[in-house]
Amino acid sequence: MNKETDIITLQMVIRDLHGCGSTHVATVPVHEVFRGQTVWRGEVEVFDLKGHPKARRCYAWAHLDKPDDSEERFVTVLEIPPVKDAQTAVKVAIAAEVKGKK
Which ranges constitute the DSSP H helices of the chain? 3-18, 86-101
DSSP at 83: -
Residue 22, domain extent: 3-101
Neighbour-count burial of 18, counting CB atoms closer than 10 A to its CB (0-12 exposed, 13-18 middle, 19+ buried): buried
**46 C-beta neighbours (distance < 10 Å), count:** 20
Using the Cα atoms of residue 90, residue 92, residue 97 and residue 99 in order, give the sign of their dihedral: positive
pLDDT (tens, 9 = 90+) of the chain, 102 residues, equals 578 889 999 999 999 999 999 999 999 999 999 899 998 999 999 999 999 999 999 999 998 776 676 788 899 999 999 999 999 999 999 988 877 765
What pLDDT is stored for residue 69 in this prediction?
67
Q: What is the total count of domains within the chain?
A: 1
